Structure 1
Amino acid sequence: MAKSAVINIRVEEKQKENIRRILDKLGVSITDAVRIFFAKVENEKGLPFDVRIPSKRLKKSIIEVESGKTKRIQDVKSFLSDV
């Protein structure tokens, strides 16, 4: 068996409990979840999800959508008539 290393991390207690509850429902321990994450990082040679800082334009667009300032299109025909 390969040697093991111990990793200690600090997280907020509430976050740890929320994560533990979610993982319990999946039948996975926190330790196993971290091992799975490490395996994915190793296999993909990077984080297994996109990490980006949104552009100013994207931030502005998100705010407009969330505040209801954008027009909803019901179908392609009405979209094309607006263009």
Structure 2
Amino acid sequence: MIHNKTDKISARIQPNIKKRGNAILSSIGIKPSDAITLFYHQIIIHRGLPFEARLPNDETIEAINELKDPNKRARLKKYDNVEQLMADLDS
């Protein structure tokens, strides 16, 4: 059964997010209205958001806050490449 009737959705979005998102959609040949329709179809299929949406746990929040503190950030180990990091983890 084909339904031709549509409803209008009005949403507020930051201009930069809209511009960047529209550029990506345009590059793959999808109109913003079609992307919203696809998103809603995924919500229906998943019976919720089609991605995990949750708050970070206490350990993650603590790590984020540590990175925001310049004094603590300066004391963190730094690596020039993945090999150095892996060698340190293996030791």
Give the TM interval when normalised to the shorter protein. Answer: 0.7 to 0.9
Deviates more, 1:5-14 or 1:42-51: 5-14
Calculate percent identity across the aligned residue pairs.
Answer: 26
Q: Write the letter of the residue equivalent to 2:14.
A: E
Of the three residues 24, 27, 31, the one matched with 2:26 is 24
Matched, 1:69 2:71: no
| Superposed CA RMSD | 2.6
Q: Give unpaired runs (5+ residues) of structure 1.
A: none
TM-score, with normalisation over the residues of structure 2? 0.67
Distance in 2, Cα, partners of 1:70 & 1:53: 27
Instruction: Give the CA deviation at 1:42.
Output: 0.3
User: Residue 37 of structure 1 aligns with which residue?
Assistant: 39
Instruction: Give the CA deviation at 1:65.
Output: 7.7
Give the count of matched residue pairs: 78
1:25-49 alpha-carbon deviations (Å, 9 max, x no partner): 1111100100110000000101011
Distance in 1, Cα, partners of 2:48 & 2:77: 36
Instruction: Give the CA deviation at 1:70.
Output: 5.1
